[in-house]
Structures are given as C-alpha cells and as structure tokens.
Structure 1
Amino acid sequence: MRVTVLTTGGTIASRPSSRGGVRVAVPGAALPVPGAVRVREVMLAHSFNLTLADVLGLARRILTEADGSGADGVVVTHGTDTMEETAYLVDLVLPPGRTVVFTGAQRHASAPDADGPGNIADSVRVAAAPETRGAGAVITMAGQVHAARYATKAHTLAPEAFASPGHGPIALVRDGGIEAITRPARPDGFRLAELGALEARVDIVPVHLGADGVQIAACRAAGARGLVVQALGTGNPTPGVLTEIRTCLDQGIPVLVTSRCAEGPAVPVYGAGGGADLAEAGAVFAGRLGAPKARLLLMAALAAEADAEHALARLRPHLPA
C-alpha cells in the first residue's frame, strides 16, 4: 500500500489551549498515521484561516504527490470548515485516474472519543482501494466517502459531518473494507496553470425576505467580475435583487444562481419576478451545486477564459442537475 498523507492542521490536529479555545497544536509527524504510510506536513492551521493562496499551494503539492511519487493515493488532513471548498477545487484540477482523500475530525485530538484516528485509518484504505481508484477528490469521515462535487458540511459538531444532498455517499468503509456504491461524474476540469492566483473577484450574495439588492450593488462597486446568488426556493429573487442582477448582466458580469435550500436543484420555474425572469435576463442556474463551490467554479472559469461567455461555456458541464 503506497499512500502519502499531507497534513494541514484543523481540529484533527488541535488541543485545548491555556490561551483559550481549541487550537492547532499537533504536528503531522505526531498524528496517528499507519506506520507504512509517508507523512508530509504542508501547514499547521485552522481551515477557517486559510486563504486562496494557501489552497492553491496545497493543490500544487497534492498534484506533485499524485503525479510523481508513485503513490496509489493521497490523503489530506484538513479542517472541516472549508474542507468541501478545498476538495472541490482540487477535484477541478485533478487529472483522471487519481484519488485524493480529504479527512478531518469533529473532536479534537485530546478528546477521549476523538474521531481523528479512525478517520485517518479509513482514508488511507480509501486512497489505496481499487474500488475508489480514479474517483477524484473525495471526503471520508465517519465511514462514509463523499464525492467532492457533492459533499457539504451538514452538521457543526456530529462525527457524521458531511452529506451529499440528493446523491448520498459514493462508498462506505465497513469492517476494514470498501463497499462501493456509485462513481461520481467528473467532467473535464481545468489545468492548475490556467487558474493563476484565482484573482477574479466573485462574491456570494444570499437572498432573504425583503432583500433590496444593496449587497449586489456593493459587490459591483467593489469590482466583482462574477456573482453567485444564493436565491430562494428553486432560484427566486426578490424584486430588488432581480433589478440589481439585471444591471450586473447588462454590464457583462456573469451571475450563477444557486438555492439556499439544503436539497434540490436551482431551476428557473417561476415567472412574475421569479427565477424564470433571471434566466431570461441571462443568469445561469447552477443546479445542485452549492454557493461556495459555484463561486470557485466561476472563479476558475474566469481565470481560464478571458471572455465571460467562454467562461460560462467552460463551466456549464460542471453544473449537476
């Protein structure tokens, strides 16, 4: 079994601190990793403190390990707060035939019922297993394997931290073995070199009862090159939001529409100021893709393609229905 574990910190590497709260304190070499597995520390940080530069650097390190180390797979320990975003970005740039397994913990390393050791052991199995070879980037926690494309953090504290609404896990870890359920679709992605520093500003704007669109106007004034709207229901705006989105589209700023609902796709169903009017104005509906991932996808497409229409064409295959 040839697996490399890259460590980045997170709860799995944290302990209570005399300075208050739980803080990252456990170096990669001290994590409970199987003895035959190589461990390489990349950083020691909480994931809520990571920057895009940090994640791009991690992606480069992952690709180096996946392509040049001869490993069957790569495991990345990571904080759960932004794990789904890091895993999704890696999935977008990971070549076919590779497996990268992200894992973490909901209970710190000093907890009597710490879940980190079990998650690491499961992830090493998943990274090396024929059943999950070529699955791309996945998240493994609490015996469940979720495709990065679908996974989202669904609980703040429970060990079963991640879910894939509308899809479910792609595999389970049971009795030391892997039970494959399905294989995720992986459209052609991006080359990491195309993304540069992901400098295109893309903002997420939530829609709520009575939203007047002032946040969208502020994003536009701040230089946003793209916008992700976390809309109501099937993808509906308020009147004020619809007006501001039309202004964005008229100015050539692409808009992706997601839903704030936990399950179900964003689709243009309603007229009379609803999502159908957004679609008619030129907004693109993101299907089941959540807002944080839609933001990264639009940022990647805008980095790879100078023209907004070409960028939208590039990202459309990645929008799950």
Structure 2
Amino acid sequence: MAHVQLLGTGGTIASRGAGDQGSVATDTAADLAQDRYGELTVTARDVLTTGSYRLTLGQLRTIAEAVRDALADPATDGVVVTHGTDTLEETAFLLDLVHDSAKSTVLTGAQQPADSPAPDGPRNVGEAVLAAADERLRGCGALISFAGTVRSARGARKAHTLAADPFAGGVEVAHLAGDELVVTAAPVRRPALPPPPPAFDTTRVEIVTAHPGATPELFDFAVRSGAQAVVLAGSGTGNAGPGFAEAVRRAVGAGCAVVLASRVPWGPVLPVYGNGGGVDLVAAGAVPSGDLNPFQARILAALLVAHGTPVHEFPEAFRPYC
C-alpha cells in the first residue's frame, strides 16, 4: 500500500471567508486529507498556514526542508504540497532545483476557497495524491497537478487569475482520464543543486522591468541598496532601452550578478539586437535566462547567490539550469 505525505502551507485551498477581511487561510492539512484515497495511505501535517503572496525566501526554505525530510522517510512513496497559486510556480521551481530523490513531489492548490459552494481543492488534492504515488512518475522531480493536468515545475507559470486551471507552460507529464492517470511525457532533469542554506533567507534578488521610456534609475537603485543580483525583465527576446547596458556593466563591476529575462510569457531569451538591446546587455555581463521567466530565474539566482557563487562564476553556474 503506497504512502503519501501531505504537507500544508495554506493558500486558497485552506481559506475560508472572514467577513470584511476577505478569505483567510485557516484550514489544516489534516482537514484536506479527510477524503479516502482507495488503497493509498495519506498522512498530513502543516508546515505553514498563510497566503502564498506573503511568503518570504526563508519560508520557501522551510518548505524545502520539510519536503526533503518527507522524501527521506523510507516509508513514504511521494509527497504532496498544498500551496497558494499566486507564487506556487516559484516554490515548485525551488523544490525542483534541489530535488535529489527518485520520489515525486507534487504541488497543488485551489482557485475556490474551502467554504465555496463548489470547492475545487478536494479534487485537486486527490489527483495530486494519485500522481505522487504513481511509480511511473518517479524521477520527474517536482510537479504541479491542477484540474486534471500534471506538468513540470520548470517552465510553468500562473497564466490566469481566476480560471479553474490557472497554470500553463512546462511539460505536460500526465493528465487524468476519469480516475486513470495517463502518463504522456517526462521532463528533462538537471543535476540537483544543494538545498538552500540559511543565507537564502536574506538573499536579495530584485526584478526590474523594461518598458517604453524606462530609465536605469530603479536598476541602479536596486544595486546601490544592496541587491546581490538583479533580474532584468526585458522586452521581446531580452532588450532594454538607453542606459541599461551601461547599468548592467556597473552592476557586474560592483559584484552584483545580472540575469536577462523577458517579460513575454513564452519563448527563449536570445541576444539578437544591438543598439542597447540584448547583444549589448549580454556583452555588458548579463546572463540570458533561456526559457526561464523572470520569477523562476530569480529563484535560481537567489539559490546560487546564497551558496556564495561569486559574480565571475555566476554565468557558468546559472547556464546549465536555464
């Protein structure tokens, strides 16, 4: 009989209305594990109970440690993490980066609160438990299961504020056909990085977005005020306006790593344009994020910085994971 550990962190799936205060995360992991799961055994415990929009890097490290401990239990066949959808893609990517177990970790949540007339949380949890226990998904790292679709953590992002399945991107690993899990693909896995150290809690990686008329003033301020890395969310294939190439050069010279991502939802970052565009930004020291969106690129950068990666070694450390 397969055994799955359910780790609760809060989010809409654990929330109930609190009058004028809106919905607030209050339900426990045990509340979410009340349903029967056939021949599967599910044990539950709470790691956090909060909205994911409130999470800090320190709390992400707490979640990563809890998952690591659960996976290390020889009696556990898989792990499910319930999580708010707002920042689920970031936590999922961190868990994927440091995932060194053959067992699966599956994150899920809900778009409707627990006291909704039609809550989607119970179904999502049931499907996530089924995926976490399935031996065919061993070796897939961290996954996101939502509304009948199981996708890789890497490349996934929240693409709709209200839709029943708010996530898009990543590799579709499996889907539900009735009560049957149909496995369709396996994501490419990279070597696991070391778990986030305590320094991760206070690591500062800021995101600055390029737009028409943008100046590098905010970028420069982030560096001056102590950012250890900056993700520049450029336009198109990774471009920014006048002054940004010089700002990137100043930042790297001051020991602050710079990642060049794109504000476009899909597609890779490619240095194509000069005149201050991606070609000049990369020449100034920015590291292209590949197909990582700015938010997942930030998590990778924070993990590398927290492990003490110096700025001159940062590009070589970052590239294999983008």
**Is the pair's TM-score, using the shorter chain for normalization, greater than 0.5?**
yes
2:174 alignment partner AA: A
Conserved 8 A contact 1:155-1:161: yes
Conserved 8 A contact 1:286-1:294: yes
Deviation at 1:24, TM superposition (A): 1.2
Conserved 8 A contact 2:61-2:196: no
Identity between Structure 1 and Structure 2 (%) = 38
Higher mean Cα deviation, 309-318 or 82-91?
309-318
Residue of structure 1 in register with 2:17 after alignment: 16
1:125 alignment partner AA: L
Conserved 8 A contact 1:3-1:38: yes
Residue 314 (structure 2) pairs with residue 293 (structure 1):
no
Distance across 2 between alignment mates of 1:117 and 1:161 = 17
Matches within 5 A, 1:122-161: 122-161=127-166
Deviation at 1:26, TM superposition (A): 1.5
Residue of structure 2 in register with 1:208 after alignment: 211
Describe the superposition over 1:225-277 as per-residue Cα deviations: whole angstroms up to 9, x where unpaired. Answer: 21100000000110132231222123232211111011111110111221111
Higher mean Cα deviation, 187-196 or 177-186?
187-196
Describe the superposition over 1:36-83 as per-residue Cα deviations: whole angstroms up to 9, x where unpaired. Answer: 311111221111111111111111111000012521100010111111
Q: Secondary structure at the match of 1:265?
A: coil
Superposition TM-score, scaled by structure 1 size:
0.94
Conserved 8 A contact 1:33-1:121: no
Q: Secondary structure at the match of 2:21?
A: coil
Distance across 2 between alignment mates of 1:45 and 1:194 = 22
Residue of structure 2 in register with 1:229 after alignment: 232
Aligned-residue RMSD, C-alpha: 1.6
Distance across 1 between alignment mates of 2:136 and 2:114 = 30
Measured at CA, do residues 261 and 139 of structure 1 come closer, stay the same or move farther in structure 2, by a change above 3 Å? same
Describe the superposition over 1:261-303 as per-residue Cα deviations: whole angstroms up to 9, x where unpaired. Answer: 1111111011122111112222111111011111111111122
Structure 2 residue runs without a partner (length 5+): none
Residue of structure 1 in register with 2:182 after alignment: 179
2:88 alignment partner AA: M
Residue of structure 2 in register with 1:104 after alignment: 109
Higher mean Cα deviation, 180-189 or 167-176?
167-176
Superposition TM-score, scaled by structure 2 size:
0.94
1:208 alignment partner AA: H
Distance across 1 between alignment mates of 2:231 and 2:34 = 39
Residue of structure 1 in register with 2:315 after alignment: 312
Distance across 2 between alignment mates of 1:44 and 1:62 = 16
Residue of structure 2 in register with 1:220 after alignment: 223
Residue 31 (structure 2) pairs with residue 30 (structure 1):
yes
Deviation at 1:212, TM superposition (A): 0.7
Residue 282 (structure 2) pairs with residue 279 (structure 1):
yes
Structure 1 residue runs without a partner (length 5+): none
Matches within 5 A, 1:27-106: 27-35=28-36, 36-106=41-111
Distance across 1 between alignment mates of 2:238 and 2:84 = 30
Conserved 8 A contact 2:207-2:232: yes
Measured at CA, do residues 194 and 10 of structure 1 come closer, stay the same or move farther in structure 2, by a change above 3 Å? closer
1:119 to 111, 118, 124: 124
Deviation at 1:183, TM superposition (A): 1.1
Distance across 1 between alignment mates of 2:205 and 2:70 = 30
1:163 alignment partner AA: A
Conserved 8 A contact 2:70-2:79: yes
Q: Secondary structure at the match of 1:37?
A: strand
Residue of structure 2 in register with 1:245 after alignment: 248
Distance across 2 between alignment mates of 1:101 and 1:216 = 36
Deviation at 1:32, TM superposition (A): 4.7
Distance across 1 between alignment mates of 2:18 and 2:108 = 23
Q: Secondary structure at the match of 1:261?
A: coil
Distance across 2 between alignment mates of 1:265 and 1:191 = 26
Deviation at 1:195, TM superposition (A): 6.1
Conserved 8 A contact 2:14-2:26: yes
Distance across 2 between alignment mates of 1:252 and 1:311 = 10
Distance across 1 between alignment mates of 2:173 and 2:278 = 31
Deviation at 1:194, TM superposition (A): 4.8
Deviation at 1:193, TM superposition (A): 5.7
Distance across 2 between alignment mates of 1:317 and 1:232 = 23
Distance across 2 between alignment mates of 1:258 and 1:10 = 28
1:202 alignment partner AA: V
Describe the superposition over 1:112-157 as per-residue Cα deviations: whole angstroms up to 9, x where unpaired. Answer: 2211011001000000112211211111001111111111001101
Higher mean Cα deviation, 265-274 or 174-183?
174-183
